[in-house]
Chains A and B, each alone.
Chain A
């Protein structure tokens, strides 16, 4: 039998948004259960081994002092309004945990957008956020010749962190044009804290190695990456490297909200002023409602937590802070819009679905995501289309297919438990 937990509010995800929601709701007197996949609270942005980053500390402290119950290392595989079922992510444990609650707050965060190009499946080609995560979880990059590529402010943050950790950063290739990047940096000047942070990151490696208007055409190597071809569309340059970190920005994790029936539009969960989704007992906060960074995630999380705990007045007092931060999110989207040339990077034999090894040539542009799945198995492997889905959307404009349980590969025991409880539920008048 799985363990059962009950609370007024269950929060999924202990990144900034989820922690803020759990803290504010628990401080308001609600019984809160917080489930998170990571080994400790912080999410991807505040991932840490020993000591948490400065911004995370007050929230981690408040979370500890609050009476919220944090369960780290659990992934939700099934959800319906009022009920969640989670499995342990790692370690020897097998048994799942069932959480019952009145209200759900989803703070599922975002993942990296990966786009296919020849050689992107080689070992040694990782994401940009992934490289940072690997360094934080013990990867020794000292002396590694490294290329950072893709798009967005994360490139500079990662290049700075990798340099500090001893990597030899050869190139930072930003696909957005120099004009876009400059316009974005000028916008940052209105937010002095952010500009200072960006400047500090830049200083850790030679500024000349930051190349806007540049992207990776291909990667090559025998068994793992050995060199990449970087291009600006006119000229190409070969660069030897042991590590290629390539990510084209972030995409919200929408699987749980969609499973719960929450309305999604333009790739993000639709919420009202109180962060309530179209399902009245489900709130959503952070990157899942649109990628906007830590500060916005915190504001949204606080509002969601307060509103979920019935403190509408206090939630309302945070609306102004949130709207100021939303403008920054919009400028991000605009500055780092993806250039159409990236669609031409993959060749016919380039793998698009890595789980099922489906090459680009197998897809017909007139299809839908569902057809692609039925005809080629793209999206039917263990990642469930989390990697190829957004890539296919970029390449062909196909929207997401419907989400089914389990939302992660689950054990047979969990599956039996879920279907057993579903039958029980169905039998109750």
Chain B
């Protein structure tokens, strides 16, 4: 583990080759957002197609966690 990201205010260890989706699942964060009907949702396709894993990264909303690589100090906000 060479870096730390901050997930909803909590520090999470990750590697620079980890996507945000993988880092969150490793940290036990299963749900990344709530659907329009309020259901918990996590990554599905892991290739940028389904948009189920979208989170806010460094203040930018609707980023696909499966496509973003972890950067040291990155701030990730889930909405589940």
Contact = CB atoms under 8 A, between A and B. Distances in A.
A89 B31 contact: no
A124 B60 CA distance: 25
Nearest to A124: B30
B19 A140 contact: no
Contacts of B17: 49-50, 137-138
B42 A124 contact: yes
Secondary structure class of chain A's binding surface, majority of residues: loop
Given A37-B48, A75-B48, A137 B31 contact: no
A44 interface: yes
Nearest to B23: A138
A305 interface: no
A224 B67 contact: no
Nearest to A127: B45
B63 to A, nearest CB: 7
Contacts of A49: 17
Of A44, A137, A382, A383, chain B has the most CB atoms within 10 Å of the CB of A137
A37 B46 CA distance: 13
B46 to A, nearest CB: 4
A213 interface: no
A138 B48 contact: no
Interface string A111-136: 11010000001111111011101100
Interface string A55-82: 0000000000000000000010000000
Interface residues of B, number: 40
A139 B68 CA distance: 14
Contact of B36 (A91, A129, A356, A386): A356
A13 to B, nearest CB: 12
Interface string B9-26: 000001101110111011
B50 A129 contact: no
B58 interface: yes
Contact of B67 (A89, A124, A381): A89
B36 A387 contact: no
Nearest to B17: A49
Interface string A326-358: 000000000000000000000000010011110
Contacts of B58: 92
B47 A111 contact: yes
A138 B15 contact: yes
A153 interface: no
Contacts of B77: none
A409 interface: yes
26 contacts: A90-B67, A91-B68, A112-B45, A114-B45, A123-B30, A123-B31, A123-B32, A123-B43, A126-B44, A129-B47, A130-B46, A131-B46, A134-B66, A137-B17, A137-B18, A138-B15, A138-B22, A138-B23, A224-B30, A351-B37, A354-B44, A356-B36, A381-B51, A386-B49, A387-B44, A409-B62
10 tightest A-B contacts by CB? A123-B42, A138-B18, A138-B22, A130-B46, A357-B37, A123-B30, A224-B30, A382-B51, A133-B46, A137-B19
Interface of A: 37, 39, 44, 49-50, 75, 89-92, 111-112, 114, 121-127, 129-131, 133-134, 137-140, 223-224, 351, 354-357, 381-383, 386-387, 409
